[in-house]
Structure 1
């Protein structure tokens, strides 16, 4: 999991990038496996090659917005860099999610800029205000996707169902755990069936950490070394 290819992608990111042409993509991968950067690679391709006007990155809380700050991807072999104008990372802006940030998202939709980052709450309020059609031909990337629920009382889940029904956006969903503690389905079976999945396991992630082997911890992940005990 620590070895990068000629484009600067680690194995999970390369696996996800191979599916970059999918309209609906679900990435299930552990924490620290590189989901944020995987999304950058995919979003840049959609913006450059797939007719997508803009990318909107939706995160559950403001602190996670920093995961999508600028990245010089070309330094490691990719053909473009990830760039977010400071005014469009709404997670860094002062104020609450319902108000100026919603208007900021509306201004972004009317602009020629390409990438915006906001919280789930800002996005929900913006969809309520501007409507589903305002987001046509855009990529919506949802981090921590298990916050979504098929329960009709879950506003984010309701909006995503409407987007899928209209079928005019691309969606990349990212999560480390595709389940909810309340046992409610994340998506309806009908909507879930439209997603292509990329799965990267905890075993694949941890098996690449050479320092764990050197420290001789996490032995239960290395069945080849402890086969007799297992």
Structure 2
């Protein structure tokens, strides 16, 4: 594949601390070095299959004249549409020197990049449209925490950030959703398939002009204000970005699944993020934004899982669906087997698909080491979470006519009851401290 390789920063755990050696090892791995092209400054490497690969080295800055020649060759407008002009580019920082390589199919980045913006730009290099290019790939190689290590916190931290970036890019590259409550009728400009829109059916509409997907959800809260409506239509990715960068959500959702209810992520963590981002909006608007953001994230992830399962079973995931239609096919598989309800969506862990990939990529011993490291940090219910659980408990009481039961078999009902108890304890402690303060002043 036409590839940009980003070698690690010298301070990264993955670095050999010698950038020239790293470039030489990459060239050696590709094949036998045959010299430099005098016109472009590209390395010429004969691969084992006999091809001569052209490799642009943007790491070596010891010879300014040669580096300038390489950059000039990469920027040459006459070569922009020539797929065979260069095969591989090796860079240290983000390759941002002004050239636009539309043929890039693979961004291979070694070591986590601390800036999410930089990762988005790196991936953007591989997502340019070019004739005959049907897909692109982003690979981030990071140090796997060794199971023998006593301290794995730093490696785990990098892993969480890399997963966060990967999930974010899936969300950014996904089509925009148009979510509505159930049975409001077809939306203008959307195609609902050969049978059209069906009242009471599992309707999926596609706007071929905009790429939007219309999905109906039972119990979905509709935004009331123009600003909340705008956010639900245009800014959901910003909300999802904040959620994916929430370390607590990532840790609990990925590596403490046994002890973390999905609602703690979808309702508590996402609810807190929305309230902090949009404090001036009403409770109804905040809940509408929360629901829309979780729906966008969970439907994208479940669509991925549906496609992966179809591939595993030798079903419709046989490679016949490609490009932009792949995610739509996964959404249809997910939605067609169930009547979508916001309560159902809230009961799905948003990191299920990521965990499925991770469990295959890591050996069981290392995975358990990471899980143990994160589970060890388990804390009691924080006061903010207790307050939010108490609010959810009040909503539960309004709907069911009773408070949540701490002995309930339903885990979420039990958690809400625990939140009410915890909040009562926090308030009692505050009251006692206040009384003690008055007594001391007396």
TM class by shorter chain equals: 0.3 to 0.5
- Taking structure 1 as the reference length, what is the TM-score of the superposition? 0.40
Please identify the structure whose Cα radius of gyration is greater.
2
The higher relative CO (CA closer than 8 Å, separation ≥ 6) is in: 1
TM-score by length of 2: 0.24
**Could you say which structure has the higher helix fraction?**
2
